[in-house]
Structure 1
Amino acid sequence: MTNEILWIIFAIVNFSMVTFIYRTFGKQGLFVWIGMSTVIANIQVTKTIEMFGLTATLGNIIYGTAFLATDILNEKYGKEDAKRAVWLGFFTLISMTVMMKIALLFTPAPDDFAHDALATLFDVMPRVALGSLLAYLVSQYFDVWIYAKLKEKFPQDKWLWVRNNGSTMISQLLDSLVFCLVAFYGEFPANVWLEVFMTTYIIKFLVAALDTPFLYVAKKFHQ
């Protein structure tokens, strides 16, 4: 199975699980999902794949599900609940970073087999960690704000796709810009930095487009 086909299947599975947890556990399920997805995304992002002729990180799909979850919260319960979810995800991400940094300070036992693997995943460069935290907070807060503004301007259900795609695609552009500036600016030649930025956003743009049908499904739950 090619990476491209597997990526599409993986995206469908991820977004289906968001709608399932919302259908089963309601608003609380989305809060749990956002906390979990921020952690998993920062683990998966360490793996790169070749897809559509581009080199991309694997964490973009699960990271995109956090935007779907906040859009569902914004749509069904208002921007204050969506903001609370953003802060929950941010606190979860910081907690994971701090706890794993401390865990790596322990001297492993002679027969330990996990330390090097954990160091590869969690001993990230300070600029990358800072870029990830800032990009998440800035882009998610902007997503909540612009979704609420679009809902005021286009409140009818027929414009749900505009609210979803408009907020997420613009927010993902901001996310990619903040992350690439903080994490990589000055580390690569300008043309390479631009390629990394464009590749990152193209993948996130595709993820944002794929989540729209799942928002329509989720809107029907818990009326």
Structure 2
Amino acid sequence: MEATLNPATEAAVDADLRERRERVFLVLAGVFLCSMTLLNVIGISRFVQLGPLALAVGVLPYPLTFLCTDLICELYGKKRANFLVTVGLCLNFFILGCMYLGQLVAPVDASAMPPWQVLHLAADVPLPDGSTASGSVELFDLMYSLTSGAVFASMMAYTAAQYCDVKLFHFWKRLTKGRHLWLRNNFSTLISQAVDSFMVVSVTFGAVYLAGGITTQQLLVLMGSNYLFKMTCALLDTGPFYYLTYKLKRYLQMN
């Protein structure tokens, strides 16, 4: 005879399972939003050489966003994944609004400024919006010029790429009838990251390119480096995706 739980115990088990599932979703959402926010905060403030690739430092954590959305798609479904992408889009607007507010409010009197608030530039510095900075420049003004355009570009690329990733993931899942986990993980990510890479670089550096600040070759190197890095990360995360999907489905008691 099969043992059954009394109603109180069954309710406690169900409550524990629901809490477990919400905790995992919260962790995945937190990693997603943190990685996305880092892209906008540190953005193009520094370029790093990673082997043959020239990358904006903000790109380094960004591939984690696609791993998180794929895991949420697999475990929680399309509706939850789209909800998280929408929250991320709203946070992009929040970041842009905070930066604009900081630029709008008058700074303190020059005598009260801390020494690091003002930079003294020895030569003209070209900025991503096509303008130049020279002489004494406030650190925030320089950061605003460096990141505001990048945040706007990121918003456009983010919206297209993340919704594309969620839609393609479920397209491949339906097409394969839930089989071949690697296929929907890789195909959805590789295509959506191509959209993200080319959009974010072309919008961020479009004004500089049109003004003659960078050459076509340099623009293509940035696009290619951006995509090759994300493509490599997408292929490498197949193993972690399989492992986490297997472990989390058991932990969360999902079929």
TMscore range, shorter length = 0.7 to 0.9
Alpha-carbon distance in structure 1 between the residues aligned to 2:236 and 2:160: 22
The aligned counterpart of 1:31 is 29
Select the residue among 197, 207, 216 that pairs with 1:190.
216
- Secondary structure of 1:207's counterpart equals helix
1:112 aligns with 2:114: yes
1:59 corresponds to:
58
- Secondary structure class of the residue paired with 1:50: strand
The alignment status of 1:124 with 2:146, answered yes or no, reads yes
Cα distance in 1 for residues equivalent to 2:52 and 2:21: 37
Bigger shift: 179-188 or 166-175? 179-188
User: Which residue is 1:18 aligned to?
Assistant: none
Q: How does 1:138-157 map to 2 (within 5 A)?
A: 138-157=160-179
After superposing the two structures, state which structure 1 stretch, 192-201 or 139-148, moved more: 192-201
Q: Give the deviation of 1:163 after TM superposition.
A: 1.1
CA–CA distance in 2 between the matches of 1:113 and 1:73?
A: 46
Matches within 5 A, 1:1-223: 25-45=23-43, 46-104=45-103, 105-108=105-108, 110-112=112-114, 115=117, 116-124=138-146, 127-157=149-179, 159-185=180-206, 187=209, 188-219=214-245, 220-221=247-248, 222-223=252-253
Query: Following TM superposition, by how much is the alpha carbon of 1:97 offset from its aligned partner in structure 2, in angstroms?
Result: 1.7
How far is 1:89 from its partner?
Answer: 0.8
The higher relative CO (CA closer than 8 Å, separation ≥ 6) is in 1
Would the alpha carbon gap of residues 138 and 79 (structure 1) be closer, same or farther in structure 2, given more than 3 Å must change?
same
**1:97–1:122: 8 Å Cα contact kept in structure 2?**
no
Q: Look up the SS of the partner of 2:60 in the other structure.
A: helix
Specify the SS of the correspondent of 1:49.
Answer: strand
Deviation of the 1:120 alpha carbon: 4.0
**Aligned pairs, how many?**
201
More deviation in 140-149 or 24-33?
Answer: 24-33
Q: Do 2:53 and 2:229's aligned partners in 1 also have CA atoms closer than 8 Å? A: no
The structure that has the greater radius of gyration is: 2
Question: More displaced, 103-112 or 143-152?
Answer: 103-112
Q: Quick check: 26-35 or 84-93, which moved more? A: 26-35
Deviation of residue 127 (structure 1)? 4.0
Return 5+ residue gaps in structure 2 as ranges: 1-19, 118-137
Unmatched segments (≥5 aa) in structure 1: 1-21
1:2-30 CA deviation, whole Å, 9 max, x = no partner? xxxxxxxxxxxxxxxxxxxx989211222
TM-fit CA distance, 1:117: 4.4
- 1:138-163 C-alpha deviation (Å, 9 max, x unpaired): 00010000000011122445x11111
Partner SS for 2:191: helix
Q: Distance in 2 between matches of 1:77 and 1:24?
A: 10
Comparing 118-127 and 135-144, the one that deviates more: 118-127
- The SS at the match of 1:107 is coil
Secondary structure of 2:114's partner?
Answer: coil
Q: 1:55 aligns to what SS in structure 2?
A: strand
Give the structure with the higher percent strand.
Answer: 2
Deviation, structure 1 residue 118: 4.2
Aligned sequence identity (%): 25
Kept in 2: contact 1:23–1:218 (CA 8 A) = no
